[in-house]
Amino acid sequence: MTVDPRALAELLEESQDLQADALRPTRAALDELVDAAHSSGPEDVTSNQRFHEEHRRELRSSFAGAALLGAAGGAALVGVLASAAGASSSKDIQVLQTAASIENLAVATYKTALTLPYIGGATANGVVTKFATVTMGQHVQHADAFNSAVRSLGGKAQTKPDPAFVPVVNKAVKSLTGASAATGTLAVVGLALELENIAAETYSKDTSLVAKTSSKELLASVMGIEAQHVAVLLAVQALLNANAPQLISLSEPATVEALPAAAGSVGFPNAFYKTSSAAPASQGAVK
């Protein structure tokens, strides 16, 4: 299956144009953030430090909850990560910087994945390629939005990936060297799945931690999109595990009819989205 790059480019361009409607509430939220930042008083350093300390303790549980990322020695990073990262910034800034760091890592991961022949090459499944491309673009927009919000609140934009997960992702990517297309695709899907789930769980949890309405609105507008990424990756992973990659296809009713019954529900296993793998709120704060 091949992908028409021109058609894809047109699609992405169209997406950016039509994105304006969906972005309107987000932009309004960002404007609101600016107003709120201007009217707010001095940062409560003690409160911010307490927030940081509380979430520092969550680092271990974060690694424990993440199967793939946790198993790769992430706990060893706790001491490093638990330093003074972002301790002087407000709660909202720390949360939003952490969100940006997760998005940055997701962008880097998809970018790397798309260089692999079985993800972004001519031999790759077209749906997988399109999903990875579109999703990477969405994470770029998410990072921009979170950093705009950070700057509006007077903080520094987070341009680096989440430090806790970088070595783990690097190790996972390195392990793909020499992998077969089938094995490599499954590994990439598994890694992306875990990253997407951490993002969705983190934003879901953080909506009740942030103070400003605009921060809640921004997190809420992104977490559902990440959850959709999770749903798609779960379905893709299940079909790959079932040796049915030919069913990872769109636009053909015949393919839908051939999908196994379980494919209709494998994408949303829980009635309530969990937060046990959420990243600590200050994990990606700018030091």
Partner 1 sequence: MSKRNDKAQFAGTESELNAMTTELDELNNDVAVPSMWAGVSRMIDGMRGDIAGRSTSRRSFLMGAGAAVAGGATLIAVGSTPGLAAAATRAESRLHVADTAMFPPAGYTGDLAVAAVAASLENLAVFAYNAGLMAATAGKLGTVPPAVATFATTAKSQHTQHAEAWNAVLKAHGKKAITATNPTLTPTVQAAFAKVTDVTGLAQLALTLESTAAATYQAETSKLKSTAAIALSASIEPVEMQHIAILYYVMGMYPGSQTSAGSPLAFSSTAAAA
Q: Which residues within the stretch 53-112 sit at the binding site for partner 1 (CB under 8 A)?
A: none
Stretch that binds partner 1, among 62-70, 149-157, 175-183, 216-224 (CB under 8 A): 216-224
Q: What residue type is 132 in one-letter code? A: A
* Radius of gyration of the chain measured on its C-alpha atoms: 19
Q: Exactly one of 67, 159, 258, 287 binds partner 1 (CB under 8 A); which one? A: 258
Binding residues among 29-58 for partner 1 as defined by CB under 8 A: none
145 in Cβ contact with 24 (< 8 Å)? no
Q: How many helices (H) and strands (E) are present in the chain, helices listed first?
A: 12, 0
Three-state DSSP state, 4: coil
User: Should residue 154 be labelled a site residue for partner 1 when binding is judged by CB under 8 A?
Assistant: no
Answer yes or no: are the C-beta atoms of 267 and 84 closer than 8 Å: no
Q: Which residues 155-214 are close enough to bind partner 1 by CB under 8 A? A: 200, 204-205, 207-208, 213-214
261 touches partner 1 (CB under 8 A):
yes
DSSP, collapsed to helix, strand or coil, labels residue 161 as coil
Are the beta carbons of 227 and 264 closer than 8 angstroms? no
DSSP 195: H
From the list 52, 55, 56, 229, which residue makes contact with partner 1 (rule: CB under 8 A)? 229
CB of 237 to partner 1, least distance (A): 9
Q: Which stretch binds partner 1 (CB under 8 A): 34-42, 79-87, 179-187, 266-274?
A: 266-274
Q: Is 271 in the site for partner 1 (CB under 8 A)?
A: yes
Of 223, 204, 56, residue with least CA distance to 145: 223
Q: How far is the CB of 174 from partner 1 (least distance, A)?
A: 28
- By CB under 8 A, tell whether 115 contacts partner 1: no
Supply the minimum distance, in Å, between the C-beta of residue 40 and partner 1.
18
Q: Which of 94, 104, 138, 185 binds partner 1 (CB under 8 A)?
A: 138
Q: Which tokens in the block code for residue 252? A: 């053909």
Between residues 154 and 267, which has the closer beta carbon with respect to partner 1?
267
CA distances from 54 to 87, 150, 177, 191, 212 (A): 11, 21, 39, 28, 19
Q: Which is nearer to partner 1, 162 or 226 (CB)?
A: 226
Query: Quick one: which H or E segment has residue 276?
Result: none
Q: Assess 266 for contact with partner 1 (CB under 8 A).
A: yes
